[in-house]
Amino acid sequence: MIVWPSLLSRFQPHTLKTKRIAMSGGILFAAVLTSASIFATGPDAEPELRLEKSWPVSVLAIEPDYLSPTFLAYGRVESNNVAKIRTDLIAEVVAVHVKEGDWVAKGDVLLTLGDKEAHLRLMQRKAELAQHTASLQSINTEFELMEQTTAHYTSMQHIAQKKLNRHEELMAQRLISQSSLDEVISQANQATIQYQSHMRKLADAPNQVASQNARIAKAEALLAQAELDLDKTTITAPFSGPVISVFVAPGDLSNLGTPLVELADASGFEVRVPIPEVHGDRFGQGENTGIVATTSTGLEIPLIRLSSQVRPGQIGVDAFFKLAVEARKPMALGRLLDLTITLPAESNVVALPVQSIYENDRIYEVRDNRLRAIIIERVGEFQTENGQYRILVRSHELSSGQKIITTQLPKAISGLLVEPA
């Protein structure tokens, strides 16, 4: 009993600072003992069970069908026949009857050129033709007279020859002088020359007639050319269509080969549409492919041909659609049109809302309230009768009655629990 007090007295703090440190340590030690006893004697906590979340989705029961895919495109109005009206006359431009943007019909007057020189040339050609015609009449008259005098020349040559024969006989009998015989020989030769000259002219008469007929034909051609040049002073539209440009004004001088007016043929109007490469295989050559384009106003225009080359900067080819243009509603060249291209119908395809498509190649089927991914091929676009936009897809895993989600889930994967609406 004497020992303990002595030991305690040895460990008791002797200063105020030491007393404070000892008191803090004791309090901390008591708190640790209390916490340990609480954890050691407290009840065990049971872990909370976490339920799997079910995602609400909308579903659509599908029915594969025979549908025509569509896609949106733009086209530019063009004409496959744009003419730059020229003239081969050098004449003053007297009047310009059209302006850029005017719609003209075939035969309408576009320009009027000065026609004074053309009238003078026409008068000259008429005079030349009349002269050659008169010359032909003279040749024919001369030919007729030559035919009538042939018998006379023949008789004269025959008489001269008989006279020569008699004088030769007399000369042989030495009844006449040599000078008399020479004179008769000269007469006979002259008669023969005249006869042969007449026969030569008579034989050449058909050639003279043919040559003069050729001159008349040439004169007629020159006259027709002069009449044509006179007609060219009035420049008319070769077809119906819009005036694209006018290059001259009254007072200008037309020149050989210089364009005067640029005109587009309305019957050649068409729409050029760049075709994306993804749809290129579905386009065929010819008019009976079943492909049509529909404008924003509901006008349907058929496919007429495809371009034979890929233009620089493009991947696919260009398609041309026939555009019927009415004069009362002219379509401006170069105008851009919003088009819906309808392709030939495809079998065994399904029309789904855009929300059903994941990453362009996948959709999800709901089976036993869980998702199952299906890889699909996008065939094209489609518009329902009430104007709703759909995507046409195809897959060998799709069949009638399957339920496809039409909701975009942020983390859609196969096996995800869903609750169909």
To the nearest whole number, what is the mean pLDDT of the chain? Answer: 84
Position 48 scores a pLDDT of 56
Give residue 1's pLDDT. 42
Q: How far is CA 331 from CA 20, 73, 84, 191, in A?
A: 104, 19, 19, 87
Q: Which amino acid is at 344?
A: P
The answer to which of 154-158, 189-193, 204-208, 330-334 has the lowest mean pLDDT is: 330-334
The answer to whether residue 327 scores a pLDDT higher than 60 is no
> How many whole angstroms separate alpha carbon 241 and alpha carbon 82?
9
Cβ-based neighbours of 51, under 8 Å, separated by 6 or more: none
Q: Beta-carbon neighbour count of residue 165 at 10 Å?
A: 12
- In tens, the pLDDT along 106-141 reads 999 999 999 999 999 999 999 999 999 999 898 888
Distance CA 51, CA 259 (A): 84
SS3 186: helix
- Cα gap 375→153, rounded to integer Å: 113
390 contacts: CB under 8 Å, gap ≥ 6:
351, 352, 353, 354, 381, 382, 383, 384
Bridge partners of 381?
70, 391
Give the number of other Cβ atoms within 10 Å of residue 385's Cβ: 5
- Residue 86: pLDDT over 70: yes
The predicted-structure confidence for 284-297, as pLDDT tens digits, reads as follows: 544 456 788 988 88
d(CA 86, CA 260): 6
pLDDT tens sequence across 139-153? 888 888 888 888 888
Q: Residue 391's pLDDT band (boundaries 50, 70, 90)? A: very high
For the record, the structure tokens of 403 come out as 């339920």
Nearest to 353 by CA among 420, 393, 397, 406: 406
Distance CA 288, CA 302 (A): 9
What are phi and psi for residue 224, nearest 5 degrees?
-65, -40
pLDDT band of residue 323 (cuts 50, 70, 90) is confident
Alpha-carbon 198 to chain mean position: 72
Q: Give the Cα separation of 416 and 366 in Å (integer).
A: 10
The per-residue pLDDT for 287 is 46
pLDDT attached to residue 40: 60
pTM (predicted TM-score): 0.60
Name the amino acid, one letter, at 228.
L
Tally of CA atoms within 13 A in the half-sphere of 271 that contains its CB: 27
Interatomic CA distance for residues 136 and 130, integer angstroms: 10
Pairing mode, if any, of strands 418-420 and 55-57?
parallel
pLDDT at 5: 47
What confidence tier does 342 reach under pLDDT thresholds 50, 70, 90?
A: confident
| β 241-246/362-367 pair status | unpaired
pLDDT tens digit sequence for 32-75: 666 666 656 655 555 555 677 888 999 999 999 999 888 888 99
Percent of the chain with pLDDT over 90: 38
List, for residues 223-269, the tens digit of each pLDDT value: 999 999 899 899 999 999 999 999 999 999 988 888 999 999 988 89
- In degrees, rounded to 5, the angle at the alpha carbon of residue 328 between the alpha carbons of residues 326 and 330 is 60
Which is higher by pLDDT, 33 or 408? 408
